[in-house]
Amino acid sequence: MKTPILTASVLSAMLLAACAAPQAPTGEADAAADARPAPAPTEQGITVSAAWSRAMPPGARVGGGFMTIRNDGDQDDRLVALRSSAAGSVDVHEMREADGMMQMRPVVGGLVIPAGGEVVLKPGGYHLMFMQPVQPFAEGDAIDVTLVFEHAGERQVAFKVLGLGATAPDMGDMGDGVAMDHAGH
Ligand SMILES: [Cu+2]
């Protein structure tokens, strides 16, 4: 029993390091602005912009991904699947505080993008979770990801990898109260 418990604990810490809120919100905003590419032409309502990720330390097994998804269509859409040649799998996670603890879990049933609205994936909230990266993401890399929407179909999006330092999570605030619930799997 000891080994699985230890593994889960270490994995939890790594996952949270990858998607936790940044230490300096203002620096975060600057970094995101720098990463913002010109929005892709609107097709069938869905536009993805400001896609970015973070450099990973050597040996990292997970990383976060962030972006803005806008739906100018007249019906709700859903982000139902993701894939990338740079990672074994890519999921959408949400992070929220419950009972004083930050919890992260996969979004079940697809991430809804409301008609006429947008959803921002950002540290501390919704985010992509890159699992089993082929190699650690390095600053300056572009991570190609295919997003599959229920109605709009596929979008190819390049996630610009920013430096680790500019967006380092504040592990001090996370403390021992951190828990991860992957019951949704
Ligand atoms: Cu996550």
| Distance in angstroms (rounded) separating the CA atoms of residues 101 and 37 | 34
Q: How far is the CA of 20 from the centre of ligand 1 (A)?
A: 8
120 Cα–ligand 1 center, Å: 15
Give the model's confidence band at 58: pLDDT under 50 very low, under 70 low, under 90 confident, else very high.
confident
Question: Residue 169: which pLDDT band, with cuts at 50, 70 and 90?
Answer: very low
Question: What mean pLDDT comes out for the span 42-69?
Answer: 88
Instruction: Provide the pLDDT for residue 38.
Output: 53
Q: Where are the domains of the chain?
A: 2-166
Neighbours of ion ligand 1 (CB under 5 A): 19, 93, 104, 129
pLDDT, average across residues 156-175? 62
Q: Answer whether residue 182 shows pLDDT above 70.
A: no
| CATH number among 1.10.3720.10, 3.90.1300.10, 2.60.40.1890, 3.40.50.970, domain 2-166 | 2.60.40.1890
- Residue 93: per-residue pLDDT: 96
Distance 93 CA to ligand 1 centre (A): 5
Q: How far is CA 122 from CA 7, 10, 69, 73, 152, in A?
A: 26, 23, 11, 23, 22
Percent of the chain surpassing pLDDT 70: 65
What 8-state DSSP symbol labels residue 23? S
For residues 65 and 43, which has the higher predicted lDDT (pLDDT)? 65
User: Considering the chain, what percentage of its residues have pLDDT values greater than 90?
Assistant: 54
